[in-house]
Amino acid sequence: MANVIVVGGGLGGLPTAYEIRHLLPKEHRVTLISEHEQFTFIPGLIRVALDLNPLEEMQLEIEPLLRERGIDWIHGRVTHIDPNQQTISVGGQTMDYDYIALATGASLAFDLLPGLGPDTGYTQSVCTPDHALHAREEWLKYLENPQNPLVVGAMPGAGCFGPAYEFALMADWEMRRRGVRDQVSITYITPEPYPGHLGVGGVKNAEKLTVNLMKKRGVQVIDNAEISAIDSETITLADGQQFPFGYSMILPKFRGSNFLQNVPGLTDETGFIPVTSTYRHPKYESVYALGVSVKLKQPDKTQVPIGLPKSGEMTEAMGIAVAHNIAHELGAFKKRCKPTLEALCFAEFGDTGIAYVAIPVVPDPATGKRRNAYAVQGRWVVWVKAAFERYFMLKMKMGWGVPWFEKLGLRMLFQVYLTEPLSPGTEQELLSA
């Protein structure tokens, strides 16, 4: 009997635990460890912050979901992992594992920019449930007398810009509904070369659609921007420009989880985990990783540093590959596979939305090209995103992981594939090299 542990109960960890449990015979033990008692649908936190949905609609209690599906549950913070001895410590408990899948997400690097973040700074965040609730509290106060500007953006090194687009344009839409939009200026500050770059670049129509929509909504755009200082009233850029604000939401740069950085040879200097094409660690064969915690190389050189986004769909694809490759190691699955890293992002902007598609996110290293990359705009994007949110919460309740009909739908509607068979001899290709 093997003991397989998944660390993390979020968009990566919970579906991966479901998939592993589905693939492995019952004699193998599957355990999920999470410091949070609730699963949170993180993309929904923007609506929570803008007081459009309660947090409860974006969360599920983890323990009952696991118990019903034969997955063991440990609630606690991981304090140490020893990949040589294959042990993991949670509080005062230490347990052995045969394979471990790290879906730990990221720590938020607010400390790199003094004044950034809701805990010790002056800006808001939509990266965690607590931050979203604080952002909502401050948003409602702001709406009582919205005289000072609204500033939305991302710090240098950030790697996921869709939430910033959504926050700026959803805030615009909400203030128009409340009849106060004419009292406020909105500025979008980004390290991207242009809005619609997304940390990806080269997506057809993405720049045109995103820039035109921001212009139509009266959102001032400052691109190639490096935020250098934040105080209680002003955001300052490295070139000296200053932007006063009454409310600001600035996305931070990500790091790998803190406890992983304490393990020699497990991560790079920023805590991200290097992986091979099977999403196994190149040094520790019992360790797999997925999601934001994985180290992937940013292929697009930009004036101001940015990261490579790791979307929810990419994370799910990584989780499928990890589950199948662990099952292969245990003799329960015939072939190895790898995620395609093909991404589909639905961004909601109130009365319209934009679907950004990059197939794949990382271009072919030989040609520098993608199979397809495009953006389309329409009211239907808002409906599709709302439907997907409800579907995702339903499948987490049902313990589906990534069912066959979801994979079929992505292929038929968007030509998006989540995984592909891994050719013999390529298992140890280092993705971040």
Angle at which helix 312-329 crosses helix 13-23, to 10 degrees, equals 30
pTM of the prediction? 0.95
* pLDDT of 429: 64
Catalytic residue IDs: 160, 345
Superfamily of domain 110-251: FAD/NAD(P)-binding domain (3.50.50.60)
Q: How far apart are CA 322 and CA 279, in angstroms?
A: 6
Of 106, 90, 83, whose CA–CA distance to 11 is shortest?
A: 106
How big is the chain by its Cα radius of gyration, in Å? 21
Low-confidence ranges of the chain (pLDDT < 70): 425-433
**Which residue is associated with the tokens 């990584």?**
318
Q: Are 168 and 183 in contact (CB under 8 A)?
A: no
* pLDDT of 427: 63
Of 147, 376, 365, whose CA–CA distance to 247 is shortest?
A: 147
Q: How far apart are CA 210 and CA 9, in angstroms?
A: 33
Of 25, 41, 156, 150, whose CA–CA distance to 389 is shortest?
A: 41
Q: Are 395 and 50 in contact (CB under 8 A)?
A: no
Q: Output the CA torsion sign for 358, 363, 367, 371.
A: negative
Burial of 417 (0-12, 13-18, 19+ CB in 10 A): middle
Q: How far apart are CA 415 and CA 352, in angstroms?
A: 23
Burial of 222 (0-12, 13-18, 19+ CB in 10 A): middle
* pLDDT of 428: 61
* pLDDT of 431: 67
Of 171, 167, 165, whose CA–CA distance to 125 is shortest?
A: 167
